[in-house]
Chain A
Amino acid sequence: MGAVAAKLEKKQYQHGDVIMEVRNLTKYFPVRLSFIQSLKTDKPPVLKAVDNVSFDVYKGEVLGIVGESGCGKTTLARTILRLTDATSGSVALEDVDIMKLNPIEMKNLRRKMQVIFQDPYESMNPRMDVQTIISEPLRIQGIASTVHQARDVVASVLADVEMIPPEEYMSRYPHELSGGQRQRVAVARALALDPDFIVADEPVSMLDVSIRGEVLNLMLNLSREKGVTFVYITHDLATARHICDRIAVMYLGKIVEMGTAEEVIRNPLHPYTTALIGAVFVPDPTHRGISEVLKGEIPSPVNPPSGCHLHPRCPYAMDICREAEPSFLQYEGTHQAACHRAEKARG
């Protein structure tokens, strides 16, 4: 891979360094109104998909962002990759604020940040074979001008995703691959530029459970062996618990709890996290019990409830929860949460 690899200069990291710093990130979408409605209102409503979110991502970790559909996790993923522009706030990758880059600088920086999408059936051009799909980022970045030049890189990333021997898969088309193999090709494509940072948006939710493990373990191994940082966006707390180092739980555009997977799962501080854990079914008939989950469904992010967004569904809601938004505080270890009740209990 020699010459090609040399073009991708890399920064050396220590374990535990911050690779991405997200500060007060906010993404609002305008809500379209009818003409009559727009005459009646002077302040047009907005959908607060991501609302003032701050966190760090450490080099080489797998960070899980967990939440129900509509909680803003996919918008968060797209915004930190600048696939969509933020309303306000900053995202710094290796101390470079990506919100301020011009398109050319942004294109160069994209070598370092890649993405794996949810649906391996939709995210690949059915008319391209595997080597063309995987070498496309190299050609776009001007690292290789033909598929042939990129062949060594393609072979090496295919081997990285355990598609061995690579030659056997290179000239196949997506329809000749199983779902799990396709998603591994998607991982290989993300790896082709040797990035430091990969966002995986629900990478296994379209796959059969029996093959989810192979894609998830692949991500875990890549983070351990190559030091690639993963942000794993998912609604599935059970897989997050097993592959993530840290977990952030989102509800209505905000991170309500964050900590190591152990801290969040074993000792949840936020009632929403507790309910989310309770709603996960255990594959064991001797431990039955569908626990009392929260009532109702996630409210509209256009008009979120006042104070703590969870209060209408929260079994422990107090007066203060309706009035004031809880602050995101540090608890034991690296554990953080935004909950008045937890704050009170801590004293």
Chain B
Amino acid sequence: MALLEVRDLKMYYRTLRGHVRAVDSVSFDIERGKALGIAGESGCGKSSMATAVLRLLPTNGEYHGGTIMMDGEDILHMPEEAFRQNVRWSKISMVFQGAMNALNPVHRVGEQIVEAILQHEEMSHEAAVERAESLLDLVGINPKRFGEYPHEFSGGMKQRAVIAMSLACHPSLIIADEPTTALDVMVQAQILKAMAELRAELDLSMMLITHDLSVIAQTCDSIAVMYAGKIVEYGSVFDVYGKPVHPYAMGLVESFPNIHAERSAVRSLPGFPPNLLAPPSGCRFHPRCPLADEECMQTEPAFREVGNSGHMAACHKAEIVQQGVDIWAQ
């Protein structure tokens, strides 16, 4: 049994003009100790998925079906109080996007970690301080800086402190939403390296949400590529990067320049993602897809296994893409 099993999850935003289908029938698993990367363009629903799993919906967010099981327990339908007490932060914690701004500027960094611990566990303040110090040490911050304020930390250190906070209650799953996007390349490498080491040490699972496919390639075991609220391709990173079968996943993988490759034109995917208030009929990618035909415009493709076991995709033309034709060559 996987640690986290999400099945058919639907989360829509209610607006005056109808429902925005940000997460629309999404299914995936995260195995214990493994990392799943969620990739896609901005607006594809990847951050909405994180808030949906943690039950942190904004007031206009609504679940429209599906289940989220953790350790065999349905965490989507349990009472909010039980979820807050036993799941959020103690089993699943989160590193938010732009974590440098997630810290309260008028509180000491260390005390903010202590607060997170005391919210969830019965222990003395002294014991919590001790744990917070060891957490800072764990993420590579000198525990002597416990009493400093966020403005005294550099961007990379703030991100490390937020990671320390996410580890405060020994969770088994961390959801990291664009954890390094605002950081410089050098600091990004330091942080991701530290996260990989922590995961190995603490046997942590991770759901890493990012638009940066190179980060997923370097840090995750499997990947889900999202487009317009749906997962269009899912599988091990070796399958998806090596032999992508969905035209969108293929285009996305190829639009990443590889610094070590021969000089070549940088690829791009023409067009832009659809409005999720009224997504296109059939396959949502058909207006941008070079292979689209009548079938793609009318019938929504099934999410099915293609190629290696566990390699799933939702595309009518998967077999054509699989033959290795460069469908994006202009």
Q: Which residues of A contact B (CB under 8 A)?
A: 68-69, 178-180, 208-214, 216-217, 220, 235-239, 241-243, 261-262, 265, 275-286, 288-291, 293-294, 297-298
Task: Tell me how many residues of B have a C-beta within 8 Å of chain A.
Answer: 44
Report whether A209 and B258 are in contact in the complex, using a CB–CB cutoff of 8 Å. no
Contact B263 A214 (CB under 8 A): no
Indicate if the CB atoms of A285 and B217 lie closer than 8 Å: yes
**Interchain CB contact (< 8 A) of B255 among A212, A235, A277:** A212
- The B292-325 residues at the A interface (CB cut-off 8 A) are none
Checking B192, B211, B263 against A209 with a beta-carbon cut-off of 8 angstroms, the contacting residue is B211
Q: With the chains together, A291 CA to B196 CA distance in Å?
A: 13
Verify A238–B258 contact, CB threshold 8 A: yes
| CB pair B266 A178 closer than 8 Å | no
Known: A209-B255, A212-B255. 17 other contacts (CB 8 A): A68-B185, A209-B212, A210-B252, A210-B255, A236-B185, A238-B258, A281-B188, A281-B189, A281-B192, A281-B215, A283-B241, A283-B258, A286-B241, A290-B192, A294-B186, A297-B156, A297-B184
Complex alpha-carbon distance, A265 and B257, angstroms: 14
Q: Are B238 and A220 in contact (CB under 8 A)?
A: no
CA distance A235 to B155 in the complex (A): 16
Known: A282-B218, A285-B238. A241 touches B42 (CB 8 A): no
- Type the 1/0 row for B171-187, where 1 means its CB is closer than 8 Å to any CB of A: 00000000000001111
A239 close to B266 (CB less than 8 A): yes
24 contacts between A and B (CB under 8 A): A208-B42, A209-B252, A210-B269, A211-B268, A238-B258, A239-B257, A242-B264, A279-B185, A280-B214, A280-B259, A281-B214, A282-B214, A282-B259, A283-B217, A285-B217, A285-B218, A285-B238, A285-B242, A286-B241, A290-B189, A290-B196, A297-B155, A297-B186, A297-B187
Q: What chain A residues lie within 8 Å of B36 (beta carbons)? A: none
Contacts of A281 in B (CB 8 A): 188-189, 192, 212, 214-215, 217-218
B binding-site residues for A, Cβ under 8 Å = 41-42, 154-156, 184-190, 192-193, 196, 211-215, 217-218, 237-238, 241-242, 251-253, 255-260, 263-270, 272
A282 and B269 contact, Cβ closer than 8 Å, known pairs A68-B184, A208-B42, A288-B218: no
Q: Which of A210, A235, A238, A291 has the most CB of B within 10 A?
A: A210
Residues of A within 8 Å of B217, CB to CB, are: 281-285, 288
With contact pairs A213-B255, A243-B266, A288-B218 given, residues A276 and B186 touching in the complex (Cβ less than 8 Å): yes
